[in-house]
Amino acid sequence: MKAVVLEGPGQAGIKQVHAPEEPGNGEVLLKVRMVGLCGSDLNSYRGRNPMVSYPRIPGHEVAATVVEAGAGASQWQAGTAVTLSPYSSCGLCAACLRGRANACQFNQTLGVQRDGALTELIAVPAERLFRAELTLKELCLVEPLTVGFHAAARGRVAAGDTVAVFGCGGVGLGAVAGSAFRGATVIGVDLDEIKLATARKAGAAHSIDSAHEDLHARLAELTGGRGPDVVIEAIGLPETFRAAVEEVAFTGRVVYIGYAKEQVAYETRLFVQKELDILGSRNAQREDFCDVIRMLEAHRFPVDDAVTHLVAMDETPAILEAWSREPARFTKIMVEVA
């Protein structure tokens, strides 16, 4: 079968690979229909993802159709449209034993530590599947949106909270939508007016263009001088990591998604003086997938605004090269597989 294969940094091609013959016990064989690409795929292509080895088939944002169910997975009927959780979990580490398998110490994500879904057929554990009455684009958006939804859950976002989301790209949009879905008043913060416009459609009540507006003054204005109850950081720069702590309200919650790109120096006095909750957020839980599906089924997300490029599978190497060369031109790329 045909697959997109990363042979090394900056080297992507269309290759023939072995197709799975049949699903194993507890597995379901899927026909992949569409795959979304995200920043981790770009980093893998560029050779900047330390968890990737080559050759590697990328792809973990998946819309697919059930072809055949293996033993123990008879509840999945052929022809059912599905998406999936791309994470594995060991069941034995501290995170798994606490019921937080999303942070499994030994997680392996599709397209990162193991081959992903940018191929024609893939066999996956049945427990990782989700059925939904959604379009292919919507099914592909479920997984990336869960990352932001999980950040909102980690921040204990609730109705009555004011939440500032720093960064309104793909992950930040999920945090905007997830916080609004929980009933919070959301403030989107970004340098890009197009991203801010999409954030407003995704549920942000207010937006701040921090390239042209004073962030501190605008947040104070919008929160009666107190600062946001929750700040979700979805950019990964030292200055935004620090700003989250500086701008959040006393006794507020700060949630970091992903890693800063370099070391961050803090004025730690604010941690204690404000009695802050500083939280990390990794991947997503099963309930986050269910919440995103409910939101998308209610048509509460601007799908067409969020997806900027739709390409055929054979065009993937070229679009990866173009994306690497001019990343600002691209927001969300989706690949039609079948």
pLDDT at residue 60, rounded to an integer:
97
Q: Class of the 146-281 domain? A: alpha beta
Alpha-carbon span 175 to 180, nearest angstrom? 8
Q: What is the pLDDT of residues 209-249, one digit of tens each?
A: 999 999 999 999 999 999 999 999 999 999 999 999 999 99
Beta strands in the chain (DSSP E): 2-8, 11-16, 27-37, 61-69, 81-84, 121-125, 129-131, 162-166, 185-190, 206-209, 230-233, 253-257, 277-281, 309-312, 333-336
pLDDT at residue 196, rounded to an integer:
97
Q: What is the pLDDT of residues 44-93, one digit of tens each?
A: 999 999 889 999 999 999 999 999 999 999 999 999 999 999 999 999 99
Nearest one of 314, 323, 262, 331 to 120, comparing CA atoms? 314
Place 334 in a pLDDT band, splitting at 50, 70 and 90: very high
| Domain boundaries along the sequence of the chain | 2-131+308-336, 146-281
13-24 burial, b for 16+ CB within 10 Å, e for fewer?
eeeeeeebeebe
Q: What is the pLDDT of residues 110-131, one digit of tens each?
A: 999 999 999 999 999 999 999 9
pLDDT at residue 330, rounded to an integer:
87
Q: Which residue has the higher pLDDT, 139 or 327?
A: 139
pLDDT at residue 261, rounded to an integer:
82
pLDDT at residue 259, rounded to an integer:
87
Place 258 in a pLDDT band, splitting at 50, 70 and 90: confident
pLDDT at residue 21, rounded to an integer:
85
Task: Tell me the backbone φ, ψ of residue 244, rounded to 5 degrees.
Answer: -60, -45
CA distances 3 to 18, 107, 332, Å, are 10, 23, 20
Q: Which residue has the higher pLDDT, 259 or 199?
A: 199
Mean pLDDT within 10-19:
96
C-alpha of 303 from chain center: 14
Can you tell me which residue has the tokens 């600002």? 328
Whether the bond into 20 is cis, omega within 30 of 0: no
Q: pLDDT above 70 covers what percent of the chain?
A: 100
Question: Exposed (0-12), middle (13-18) or buried (19+): which is 224, by Cβ within 10 Å?
Answer: exposed
Place 157 in a pLDDT band, splitting at 50, 70 and 90: very high
For residues 68 and 28, is the Cβ–Cβ distance under 8 A?
yes
Q: Euclidean distance between the first and final Cα of the chain, in Å?
A: 12
For residues 173 and 152, is the Cβ–Cβ distance under 8 A?
no
Alpha-carbon span 190 to 210, nearest angstrom? 6
The correct answer on CATH 3.90.180.10 for the domain covering 2-131+308-336 is: yes
Place 32 in a pLDDT band, splitting at 50, 70 and 90: very high
Q: What is the pLDDT of residues 162-174, one digit of tens each?
A: 999 999 999 999 9
pLDDT at residue 114, rounded to an integer:
94
Mean pLDDT, all residues of the chain: 96
Amino acid 193 reads E
Q: What is the pLDDT of residues 278-319, one digit of tens each?
A: 999 999 999 999 999 999 999 999 999 999 999 999 999 999
